[in-house]
Amino acid sequence: MYVILRKERFNDFISRLSEMQRLFAPVLKGYNNFAFEEVTSGKEIATKYIPTILPPKKFFIPQHETLLEFNLAQGMDVEAIVEFEPVTLFGVHTCDLAGIQCLNMVFSERPKDYNYLTRRSKIILVGLECNEYCDEYASCNLVNANFPKGGYDLFFTDLGDHFIIHVNTRTGDEIIKETGSFEKADTSHINELEKLRKKKRKVFGNEVPIEGKHIPELFDKSFNADVWRDLEERCLACGNCTNVCPTCYCFDIRDEIDLNLKGGTRYRLWYSCQLESFAKIAGDINFRKGRSARQRHRYYRKFRYPVDKFLRFFCTGCGRCTRTCMAGISLKETLGELIKESEGKHGKGSYKRF
């Protein structure tokens, strides 16, 4: 079902939505940086924005999350903790919706992560379409993440003086009814949407000279590529790229003991495969000590391994890793160099170029 929202009613809709439960949306933080922050008015929201500094995954996987509390004063008293709060996220781009879908797949595998799944069930997602590229770092078309493919309750598309909204779930339908700000879409509105999507298909081209279906083959041939050694010379191993990635989900679990040694908490926090300590095991052995191996691992975790396991890329083309890299490492440039090196070894024409 489709409905429309006149832009003069947008502020009223956001105000009403924020009264239903806490509402978070992209907000300008200065210097063309944006972040999902709590809002109560449509005037606070940036409807045209480059991907936020941190992706919406911060609402699904908190940077610091308590898992259990224990007290040994009177036997083994252990209480599992599930931290969650009902929230609504407005303005989630298709690249970030794709990232959330990836996380859903990972944490739904056995053994299921009920902390994540409980939190996910309490979050309402309202998507927002990008009618054009957010900036030069995006590669969403390459990974098929530039058009909406589910994973939301409502999805907004800007059509000039109004938004057209796809109502995707019962929760979305309840929001439409309760806020009372919408009109039913007619054939002319649907035709406008189709016209916009047709234009988008011309604007969004493959950002790297390779067809998506050939990317796994490229990585099959690139495990020992010289490109990884080049990245080792440049990478600072700071972990920025994984922190801002919408599909990186690795974490560390720690126990913190109270000073009286009778109680404490167990918590998990974000961790990064780009840190030297990540792959260190007993006996002071590190099976991924070099930065080249860690960078290679990151790319394979986006473009190769998940294709076998989940039949999809775990890169959503948001461009955050490139924007945040202090060493200026570009994902698109790295893929381009891998293509050049592979074609040099295996012959030109190995991959269809655009």
| The pLDDT of residue 197 is above 80 | yes
Read off the pLDDT of each residue in 224-253 and give the average, rounded to a whole number. 97
Helix (H) and strand (E) counts for the chain? 13, 14
Give the model's confidence band at 344: pLDDT under 50 very low, under 70 low, under 90 confident, else very high. confident
Question: pTM for this one?
Answer: 0.94
* H/E segment holding residue 232: helix 226-234
Give the model's confidence band at 72: pLDDT under 50 very low, under 70 low, under 90 confident, else very high. confident
Give the model's confidence band at 75: pLDDT under 50 very low, under 70 low, under 90 confident, else very high. confident
b/e for 196-228, b at 16 or more Cβ within 10 A? beeebeeebeebbebeeeebebbbeebeebebb
Read off the pLDDT of each residue in 291-317 and give the average, rounded to a whole number. 97
**Could you give the CA distance from residue 138 to residue 113 in angstroms, rounded to a whole number?**
31
Read off the pLDDT of each residue in 38-57 and give the average, rounded to a whole number. 97
Helices (H), 61-186: 94-108, 114-121, 170-179
| Mean model confidence pLDDT for the chain | 95
Asked if residue 102 lies in contact with residue 38, where contact means CB atoms within 8 angstroms, the answer is no
Q: CA 338 → CA 109, 213, 292, distances in Å?
A: 32, 15, 14
Q: What is the pLDDT of residue 354?
A: 46
Q: Extract the tokens encoding 48.
A: 């045209």
pLDDT 10s digits, 15-42? 999 999 999 999 999 999 999 999 999 9
Helices (H), 52-137: 57-60, 94-108, 114-121
Comparing C-alpha atoms, which of 68, 89, 87 is closest to residue 78? 68
Q: CA 353 → CA 215, 343, 348, distances in Å?
A: 12, 11, 10
Q: What is the pLDDT of residue 301?
A: 98
Q: What is the pLDDT of residue 17?
A: 97
* H/E segment holding residue 203: helix 187-203
Q: Extract the tokens encoding 47.
A: 């409807």
* H/E segment holding residue 130: none
* H/E segment holding residue 87: strand 87-92
Q: What are phi and psi of 184, to 5 degrees?
A: -70, 135
Strand-pair category, 2-6 with 87-92: unpaired
Cα distance between the two ends of the chain = 36
**Could you give the CA distance from residue 304 to residue 296 in angstroms, rounded to a whole number?**
11
* H/E segment holding residue 290: none
**Could you give the CA distance from residue 285 to residue 2 in angstroms, rounded to a whole number?**
57
Q: How many CA atoms does the CB half-sphere of 16 hold within 13 Å?
A: 14
Comparing C-alpha atoms, which of 62, 125, 52 is closest to residue 90? 125
pLDDT 10s digits, 166-184? 999 999 999 999 999 999 9
| The pLDDT of residue 258 is above 70 | yes
**Could you give the CA distance from residue 115 to residue 67 in angstroms, rounded to a whole number?**
8
Q: What is the pLDDT of residue 351?
A: 58
Give the model's confidence band at 67: pLDDT under 50 very low, under 70 low, under 90 confident, else very high. very high
pLDDT 10s digits, 79-88? 999 999 999 9
Amino acid letter for position 345:
K
| The pLDDT of residue 47 is above 80 | yes
Read off the pLDDT of each residue in 149-175 and give the average, rounded to a whole number. 97
* H/E segment holding residue 3: strand 2-6
Rg (CA), the chain: 22
